[in-house]
Amino acid sequence: MDITDFYDTFFEEAAELLEDMERHLLELDIESPDPEQLNAIFRAAHSIKGGAGTFGFDVLQRTTHIFENILDHLRRGELRLRRDIVDTFLETKDMLQDQLAAYRNGSEPDPEAFARICQTLQQMALEELGGQGAEVAVQAPAPIPAVEPAPSPEPEAAGAPAGGEGAERLRVVLLGVAEKDRELLIGELGHFGGILAQGGDVQRYEVELATGESADDIEAVLCFVVEPEQLEIQVLATVPQALQAKEAGESTEAGSSQVEPAAGELSPPVEAKKTPAAAVQASAAAAPQPGPAASGKPPANGNGESTSLRVPVAKVDQIINLVGELVITQSMLDQMLGRLDGATHSELVNGIALLQRNARDLQEAVMSIRMVPMDFVFSRFPRQVHDLAAKLGKEVELVTVGKSTELDKSLVERIVDPLNHLVRNSLDHGIESPEVREAAGKPRTGRLTLSAQHQGGNILIDVIDDGAGLNRDRLLAKARSNGLAVSDSMSDDEVWQLIFAPGFSTAEVVSDVSGRGVGMDVVKRNIQSLGGHVQILSRQGQGTTTRIVLPLTLAILDGMSIRAGEEIFILPLNAVIESLQPRSEDIYAMAGTDQLLKVRDEYLPLLPLHQVFGIPGARTRPSECIAVIVQGEGTRCALLVDELVGQQQVVVKNLETNYRKVPGVSAATILGDGSVSLILDIADLQRLNRRQSAARQERAAAIEQELMLS
């Protein structure tokens, strides 16, 4: 087996360790740092160093080695923490991430950046540690040759120890490791020294090793290949003592008296150490036992087996597509069953009903695989808030609520960029400087809250700041100067929506943070492309809440089937408020052909679906239609349709990929009879209707003008 087979595992786990490292660095209390957090940061660097060494990633190994030395002094209390030191550590973490990305892409890291970060760390060590910093400073980076992983050496002859003076004799126990994987691991152990003896079976295989490397370093490397619970390392004796005992035929003193066995035989341990999670090092500076979250390793069940599995997203998507096809097939069978006599085919009816329940359960189970906690999104922002607040000269506390709330993985990556713009906007425009806040009677430190919660079939993501809030008069004045059609009678909600207009910005100075009028319009456009919308609530002097409303998933949709003429359409159920039969006396004519429907003292514009799409054979009199009250982007309207067919879950198919973009339509689905049905986009449908209405009014005005001239 080629060791490169494990590259992906190393890259993924190293990335997780770097994320943990950044999180702990940002959470550190400068005045009184938590020893657990310091140890977790040290362990992350230590594990990455060990893995980088075995895979031949020289630059990454050497950088983490210098970093690890400084962190060791820090956790021993020999280095006093300061804010600028934390910033340097964060810069180092960024450099490690860049180096990891370079190796993942099959290239070498930037040598100048490597030399620069090493020099920064060495200089800091010398300044802060004095003489103790010399051990760090001697790690000056030399020119970097191209490094390839060394081939696995053949195990040395039994009884031929390697490692030099002070080397240890270790017993490495592999538990439940298949033979093909065991050969690779033994080959890797040969990199650390000499193989003295080995033997056992699949359940328990023991290897004795003479090495100058520590058990921790060996553990850090092997744990990128096997699970922690599959590995034990036991310290037997130091090699020079063992050799003397063997030659003299006398017992060896290594903490307790024992007889050294002949070469090739497995020795009893002098000092046992089970690694990595269950052991505590003997020294006073030892790292405490890491839990699953700190180590980055998945939890195990009672049998020592891992309870999680890494699966490529493409495989999950393939399963979801197959389940979607199964649901469509089940729906087809259900429709066919409706044409049969239930009494005559009772067994078939029961079987189809059971199939329907099982298909629904399977669908929900598979969809849950794609759901990931919002912590995957929120964890990216502490660093951004930390850096941007420092850049703006502001003091900001970040609070996250609802980190365990789950969202479809396909949405997670696409929501990061809109949230990024909203966070930057709150920090730059919302939260005031410490002096301004203090003068206004507020705490010097502003608060930015990221919140997530479920509501029906949607997820609500809030970005909340306790800053100055939006200034209505200033927004209206800026809109007028930009040539936008606004009036003083506009509601607050309509005024707040002005910030999403392309090119709109209230910043007086253009900076690298904001002020160019791009960002917020992108936020709105991206959220709409995901089937969601943005709401804003603001009170001047008290702060602003920006709410993103998104569907939980883009793969499955709860919809309402409606009919217009002979065509069947799907309405997203989360856009439907109610349905009713309009009365003639509740319908009011507007300019041109536009009409309004009065619903409990509220006047809603009528949107005839047959008119928008030009559907022949549909009902045209509103009193003969069904009015479905729908909402899109915070605006309600009454959608006129011929009939409500029913409610069902549908599998969403991308229309643009398979055909082209259709105005007023977000996607398509396949019905039980095999026909294609379009899924309506309410917000886009409203815009399309307004454009058509404006065009009709222009044509009517032109005709009237011609008649007057004639």
Tens of pLDDT, residues 310-346: 777 778 878 887 887 887 788 788 878 877 877 788 8
Higher pLDDT, 247 or 106: 106
Radius of gyration of the chain from its Cα atoms, rounded to whole angstroms: 34
Model confidence at 241: pLDDT above 70: no
Model confidence at 256: pLDDT above 50: no
Model confidence at 682: pLDDT above 50: yes
Q: What is the pLDDT of residue 293?
A: 37
Determine the Cα–Cα distance for residues 173 and 162; give it in Å rounded to an integer: 19
Model confidence at 262: pLDDT above 50: no
Going by pLDDT thresholds of 50, 70 and 90, the confidence category of residue 514 is low
Higher pLDDT, 672 or 616: 616
Question: Cα 228 to chain center, whole Å?
Answer: 25
**Cβ neighbours of residue 551 closer than 8 Å, sequence gap 6 or more:** 457, 458, 459, 530, 531, 532, 557, 572, 574
Amino acid letter for position 438: E
**Cβ neighbours of residue 95 closer than 8 Å, sequence gap 6 or more:** 63, 113, 114, 117
Going by pLDDT thresholds of 50, 70 and 90, the confidence category of residue 704 is confident
Model confidence at 272: pLDDT above 60: no
Closest C-alpha among 370, 550, 578 to residue 455: 550
Higher pLDDT, 688 or 341: 688
Model confidence at 286: pLDDT above 70: no
Q: What is the pLDDT of residue 164?
A: 42
Neighbour count for residue 184 (Cβ, 10 Å): 18
Report the pLDDT averaged over residues 186-206: 81
Model confidence at 647: pLDDT above 80: yes
**Cβ neighbours of residue 268 closer than 8 Å, sequence gap 6 or more:** 236, 258
Bridge partners (DSSP) of residue 547 are 462, 535
Determine the Cα–Cα distance for residues 613 and 648; give it in Å rounded to an integer: 23
Burial group, residue 337, by CB count within 10 angstroms (0-12, 13-18, 19+): middle
Question: Cα 123 to chain center, whole Å?
Answer: 36
How far is the CA of 381 from the CAs of 28, 385, 416, 419, in angstroms?
A: 16, 6, 10, 9
Collapse the DSSP code of 567 into the 3-class scheme (helix H, G, I; strand E, B; otherwise coil) and give the result. Answer: strand
Residue indicated by tokens 């006093």:
80
What's the pTM value of the predicted model, to 2 decimals? 0.58
Model confidence at 202: pLDDT above 90: no
How far is the CA of 326 from the CAs of 7, 74, 154, 343, 469, in angstroms?
A: 36, 58, 52, 26, 50
Q: What is the pLDDT of residue 486?
A: 81
Tell me the pLDDT tens digit for each residue of 415-435. Answer: 888 898 899 989 988 999 999
Helix-helix angle 409-425:520-529, to 10 degrees? 160
Tell me the pLDDT tens digit for each residue of 437-448. Answer: 999 999 999 999
Model confidence at 270: pLDDT above 60: no
Give yes or no for a cis peptide into 276 (omega within 30° of 0). Answer: yes
**Cβ neighbours of residue 699 closer than 8 Å, sequence gap 6 or more:** none
685-694's contacts with Cβ under 8 Å and 24+ in sequence apart are 685/607, 685/612, 685/632, 685/639, 686/607, 686/632, 686/633, 686/635, 686/637, 688/612, 688/663, 688/664, 689/605, 689/607, 689/612, 689/637, 692/611, 692/612, 693/592, 693/593, 693/594
Q: What is the pLDDT of residue 433?
A: 93
What the block records as the tokens of 604 is 């809603």
Residue 601 Ramachandran class (φ > 0 left, ψ -120 to 50 alpha, else beta): left
Percent pLDDT > 70 in the chain is 79
Closest C-alpha among 253, 167, 173, 254 to residue 214: 167
Going by pLDDT thresholds of 50, 70 and 90, the confidence category of residue 504 is confident
Tell me the pLDDT tens digit for each residue of 77-94. Answer: 888 888 889 999 999 999
Determine the Cα–Cα distance for residues 530 and 505; give it in Å rounded to an integer: 24
Of 125-139, 244-258, 306-320, 595-609, the range with the lowest mean pLDDT is: 244-258
Model confidence at 394: pLDDT above 90: yes
The overall average pLDDT reported for the chain is: 78
Beta strands in 178-220 (DSSP E): 193-200, 204-211
Tell me the pLDDT tens digit for each residue of 11-39. Answer: 888 888 998 899 899 888 888 888 889 98
Closest C-alpha among 390, 381, 382, 383 to residue 513: 390
Closest C-alpha among 492, 454, 457 to residue 475: 492
CATH architecture for the domain at 374-551: 2-Layer Sandwich (3.30)
**Cβ neighbours of residue 58 closer than 8 Å, sequence gap 6 or more:** 52, 144, 145, 147
Of 155-164, 375-384, 455-464, the range with the lowest mean pLDDT is: 155-164
Closest C-alpha among 62, 84, 255 to residue 169: 255
Amino acid letter for position 65: H
Domain boundaries 3-137, corresponding CATH code: 1.20.120.160
Q: What is the pLDDT of residue 288?
A: 35
Model confidence at 597: pLDDT above 70: yes
CATH architecture for the domain at 168-278: 2-Layer Sandwich (3.30)
Q: What is the pLDDT of residue 5?
A: 65
Q: What is the pLDDT of residue 224?
A: 65
Highest mean pLDDT among 165-169, 466-470, 660-664, 694-698: 466-470
Higher pLDDT, 276 or 308: 308
Percent pLDDT > 90 in the chain is 21
Closest C-alpha among 226, 215, 225 to residue 275: 215
Q: What is the pLDDT of residue 339?
A: 79
Model confidence at 695: pLDDT above 90: no
Bridge partners (DSSP) of residue 546 are 463, 536
Higher pLDDT, 461 or 482: 461
SS3 content of the chain, % helix, strand, coil (to 5): 45, 20, 35
Neighbour count for residue 394 (Cβ, 10 Å): 21
Name the strand (E) or helix (H) holding 30.
none
- The answer to whether residues 25 and 92 touch, using CB atoms and an 8 Å cutoff, is no
Q: What is the pLDDT of residue 638?
A: 94
Of 132-141, 192-201, 371-380, 381-390, the range with the lowest mean pLDDT is: 132-141
Q: How many CA atoms lie within 13 A of 94 on its CB side?
A: 13
Q: Which parts of 296-312 fold into alpha helices (H)?
A: none
Q: What is the pLDDT of residue 512?
A: 53
How far is the CA of 553 from the CAs of 115, 386, 459, 641, in angstroms?
A: 45, 31, 9, 27
Q: What is the pLDDT of residue 508?
A: 56
Domain boundaries 556-698, corresponding CATH code: 2.40.50.180
Amino acid letter for position 201: D
Strands of the sheet with 533-539, listed across from one edge: 396-401, 446-455, 458-465, 543-551, 533-539
Going by pLDDT thresholds of 50, 70 and 90, the confidence category of residue 606 is very high
Q: What is the pLDDT of residue 604?
A: 92
Model confidence at 119: pLDDT above 70: yes
Query: If you count them, how many residues does the chain have?
Result: 710
Of 152-156, 365-369, 640-644, the range with the lowest mean pLDDT is: 152-156
Q: What is the pLDDT of residue 60?
A: 92
202-205's contacts with Cβ under 8 Å and 24+ in sequence apart are 202/176, 202/177, 202/178, 203/175, 203/176, 204/173, 204/174, 204/175, 205/173, 205/174, 205/177
**Cβ neighbours of residue 629 closer than 8 Å, sequence gap 6 or more:** 576, 577, 578, 579, 580, 599, 604, 636, 637, 638, 639
Q: What is the 3-state secondary structure (H, E, C) of 159-177?
A: CCCCCCCCCEEEEEEEECC
Model confidence at 577: pLDDT above 80: yes
Model confidence at 627: pLDDT above 90: yes
Model confidence at 560: pLDDT above 80: yes
Of 53-62, 209-218, 355-364, the range with the lowest mean pLDDT is: 209-218
Q: What is the pLDDT of residue 325?
A: 80
